[in-house]
Structure 1
């Protein structure tokens, strides 16, 4: 039996302790050591204390952020029971896919184990064991070979063999397809609590498909429709028939997505970053609304995790931007609030 009320209460409690939007302007004017002390007084004390004797500056903060996010995901998996836990277990595959992407990118850039660990958030001990094996890889091919016996091996091997360049995009696309197909095919049956989760999945799949087409159509690619995912509210046939960004925008007329994208897809000005930002903002707002309308569902947890991911992303953008010597104005453009 699912324990929605208990887990939703934990999610709302943690959500109340996230950084308010106005805090990011304050952080822009602090040095790394001051930022570390600031977040230590929030939810990151355990991680700052744990790594403070061996790391400092941006490395300390980034490691603490990634570790704390992994702990949060693991906590909610352990808090949950029944159908709720099953749903979260499938959703949490997102973090494993992101971890594998980061490892593949890192190995491709000849990163050492220490730097790779700062990019990865293992959810449990079995993840840690797998990633420790992957850190020793010398090439991307070694990473994929080490994944033999997992659900990732065959799709990645096929993508590696069929790619026409050294680009990692086909490998990342293969990982995304694994995640989304698993998400769509493992929807539980049930009442209102499950129905709102289905709506969330439709939204997530729609946005993933639109992002894929934005990337491809902007580069003049009209093929590779196998990268589109069934399970959204927008017809795959309709989306795959588009040949350009104009076609894509036309296919979305009458939907909220048209309103979100149209200002950024003008004939004389195409801004894909703003498109992605608008889609992500829409996802966050809809998830928040779902969480309030359906408090006894998985949505309060998903709403919290999306907000937590955003907080970690923003803090990493600030510390790495400062480390790179970027101006506050440029860093502000990277921060999503």
Structure 2
């Protein structure tokens, strides 16, 4: 698999040009008051607002073939991809290595979209419209994966993770007709790889490492909630946990995995620093299995942390990673507004799913 060689240590110099360019890109992001304005608008007004914003170029490009919500979703995806690829272009080599490693999460999201589409026999055009191509993999390559005969073929040719990591996931797919093992293998690979990569960063990468560990911790909590509700056995649950190499945090999450059921787990989570986040969505989750409220609260928390990175370390790698996270959230929010307005959902319902 063609892969950039990972350095034993990454010497990041001072790159004021790249950091200033990133700050300019960050200044274009929509703010809370912009979202509140959009929530009060109709679909056509939102489309007009986006066409007059930093999404103008992409909307005009796709308007020749598409219209309505499809046009806006494609334009949002393309703008996200263009923004991330611009960062890769303007960054010096050492910095671009870090950006590409972080952006692999978008490659993995796209491959998961393709696999889910194949699993559910979704129309190819619909799958393609959901692909962002905002990582290191090109849109054409991702489209070629979609043309492959089977999920196994997609995994063999994925260019992100070695095929061997999917052995258990493929076994689960064949025996239990579930994609959970394959998707978890991607998540484990990505975070384990990024944690290893973060070790070669100099001292100024400490805040990024902290953010990464927090993300892993939160992802593990969501995994525990899903699997406890689905009544998975303790051994099976432990196989899904992503280890962060922070011995204290890893021991805590393994203790949570040992708890007998969802009630015990939710009581234990009440005693953690995430109690405020968990409490808002746990009842809804117990009732109908929906993690929407929980995930929204958690993303709000992570967004606040990324904004701290942007403000506290404006001339460091943190401004780039903070921007990438915030830009990803912006596109997610805009897709929720567009889809919600198209379906005629209430302002409150749409707002509850947004992160700002």
Q: Which residue is equivalent to 1:258?
A: 275
Secondary structure of 1:23's aligned partner: helix
TM superposition shift of 1:162: 2.8
2:166 matched to 1:153? no
Aligned partner of 1:121 among 132, 152, 155: 132
324-333 vs 261-270, which moves further? 261-270
The TM-score, its normalising length taken from structure 2, stands at 0.83
Matches within 5 A, 1:290-301: 290-301=309-320
Aligned partner of 1:240 among 254, 258, 282: 254
83-92 vs 70-79, which moves further? 83-92
Unaligned residue ranges in structure 1 (runs of 5+): none
2:239 matched to 1:226? yes
Query: Cα deviations across residues 130-172 of structure 1 (Å, max 9, x unaligned)?
Result: 212112235434433443x652533235412234422222221
Segments ≥4 residues shifted beyond 6 Å? 266-271
Q: Which residue is equivalent to 2:7?
A: none
The TM-score, its normalising length taken from structure 1, stands at 0.88
Matches within 5 A, 1:37-76: 37-76=48-87
Secondary structure of 1:26's aligned partner: helix
Structure 2: how far apart are the matches of 1:79 and 1:93? 18
Secondary structure of 1:186's aligned partner: helix
Query: Cα deviations across residues 31-82 of structure 1 (Å, max 9, x unaligned)?
Result: 4443232112111111111111100001100000001101111111122224
Structure 1: how far apart are the matches of 2:84 and 2:269? 34
Unaligned residue ranges in structure 2 (runs of 5+): 1-11
Structure 2: how far apart are the matches of 1:286 and 1:125? 25
- Structure 1 residues 218 and 326, CA, compared in 2 at 3 Å: closer, same or farther? same
TM superposition shift of 1:16: 1.6
Q: Is the 8 A contact 1:181 1:229 kept in 2?
A: yes
2:349 matched to 1:330? yes
23-32 vs 300-309, which moves further? 23-32
Structure 1: how far apart are the matches of 2:284 and 2:32? 33
Secondary structure of 2:112's aligned partner: helix
Structure 2: how far apart are the matches of 1:45 and 1:13? 17
Q: Is the 8 A contact 1:66 1:121 kept in 2?
A: yes
Pairs aligned (count): 336
Structure 1: how far apart are the matches of 2:229 and 2:189? 24
Aligned partner of 2:338 among 319, 333, 336: 319
Q: Is the 8 A contact 2:296 2:353 kept in 1?
A: no
2:132 matched to 1:132? no
Q: CA RMSD in A?
A: 2.8
2:180 matched to 1:172? no
Query: Cα deviations across residues 85-141 of structure 1 (Å, max 9, x unaligned)?
Result: 222121111110111111112222333443222111224785223212112235434
- Structure 1 residues 5 and 181, CA, compared in 2 at 3 Å: closer, same or farther? same
Structure 1: how far apart are the matches of 2:141 and 2:285? 48
- Structure 1 residues 119 and 97, CA, compared in 2 at 3 Å: closer, same or farther? same
